C-alpha cells in the first residue's frame, strides 16, 4: 500500500512539473528581428523554460534580457554600462535604467516590457539598492547591482613587509557591476 501511495505521489509531482501555466511557445526572442542602425545582437539562447538575448547598443552598453517561468512570467534586464560599479548609488543606477530601457528594440510579441519597469521606477519610492517595488497591479520589480562576473579580476596577494603589521584593513576596490532589473508577475 505504501509503495502504491509513493508511486502516485511521485506521478503527481512529475505531472505538476510538466503542467506549467507559461507555455514554452510564448518564450520567444524578445528583441526585434530588425535592429536599428548601431545595435548588434550578440547572442540568442533558448533553453526549455528560458530565452536569453544579449544586445550591444551603439554606445557600447550591453543589455541582456531573460524571459522565463513556469507558474508565472518572469523577466529581467541586465545592463552592463561604463561606470557601473558595486558602489554606484541608487540615483545613478536609476539614471542608467531611464537612459537605456526606452531605447531597447523589443519585438511586437515580447513579453518582457521595459516600460513596465520604467513606470515602476517612476512611481516607486526607494533610497538605496537593492530595492523591491510594486509594478502596478501585476507584480513586483527588483532593482539591484550585482558584481559583473565577466570582469572579475584576481587580486594579487602582497605580503606585508617584515616587522610591519597592517593596522587598518585595505579598502575593497570598486568592481564592475551589472544593473539588474527584474519583473515577477503576481502569482
| 11 inside domain | no
| 15 inside domain | no
Q: What is the pLDDT of residue 173?
A: 65
| 156 inside domain | no
- CA-nearest of 142, 150, 143, 144 to 176 is 150
Question: From CA 35, how far away is CA 76, in angstroms rounded?
Answer: 20
Long-range contacts of 60-68 (CB under 8 A, 24+ apart): 61/100, 63/100, 63/104, 65/30, 65/31, 65/104, 65/112, 67/27, 67/30, 67/111, 67/112, 68/22, 68/27
Domain of 129, in residue numbers: 23-149+176-185
Average pLDDT over the chain, rounded to an integer: 83
| 157 inside domain | no
* pLDDT < 70 regions, the chain: 1-18, 136, 151-173, 187
Q: What is the pLDDT of residue 164?
A: 55
Q: What is the pLDDT of residue 176?
A: 94
| 117 inside domain | yes
Q: What is the pLDDT of residues 81-98, one digit of tens each?
A: 999 999 999 899 999 999
| 111 inside domain | yes
Q: pTM score > 0.85 for this model?
A: no
| 32 inside domain | yes
Q: What is the pLDDT of residue 2?
A: 44
Are 20 and 49 in contact, with CB atoms under 8 Å apart?
yes
Q: What is the pLDDT of residue 17?
A: 47
Chain centroid to Cα 82, Å, comes to: 17
| 43 inside domain | yes
Number of domains in the chain: 1
Amino acid at each position: 500500500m505504501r509503495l502504491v501511495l509513493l508511486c502516485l505521489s511521485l506521478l503527481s509531482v512529475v505531472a505538476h512539473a510538466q503542467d506549467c501555466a507559461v507555455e514554452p511557445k510564448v518564450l520567444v526572442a524578445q528583441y526585434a528581428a530588425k535592429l536599428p542602425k548601431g545595435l548588434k545582437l550578440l547572442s540568442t539562447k533558448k533553453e526549455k523554460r528560458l530565452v536569453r538575448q544579449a544586445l550591444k547598443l551603439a554606445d557600447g552598453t550591453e543589455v541582456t534580457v531573460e524571459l522565463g517561468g513556469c507558474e508565472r512570467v518572469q523577466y529581467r534586464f541586465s545592463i552592463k554600462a561604463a561606470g557601473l560599479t558595486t558602489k554606484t548609488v541608487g540615483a545613478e543606477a536609476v539614471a542608467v535604467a531611464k537612459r537605456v530601457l526606452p531605447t531597447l528594440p523589443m519585438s511586437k510579441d515580447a513579453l518582457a516590457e521595459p516600460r513596465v519597469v520604467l513606470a515602476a521606477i517612476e512611481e516607486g519610492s526607494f533610497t538605496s539598492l537593492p530595492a523591491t517595488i510594486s509594478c502596478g497591479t501585476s507584480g513586483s520589480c527588483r532593482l539591484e547591482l550585482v558584481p559583473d562576473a565577466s570582469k572579475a579580476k584576481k587580486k594579487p596577494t602582497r605580503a606585508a613587509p617584515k616587522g610591519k603589521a597592517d593596522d587598518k584593513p585595505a579598502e575593497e576596490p570598486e568592481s564592475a557591476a551589472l544593473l539588474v532589473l527584474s519583473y515577477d508577475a503576481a502569482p
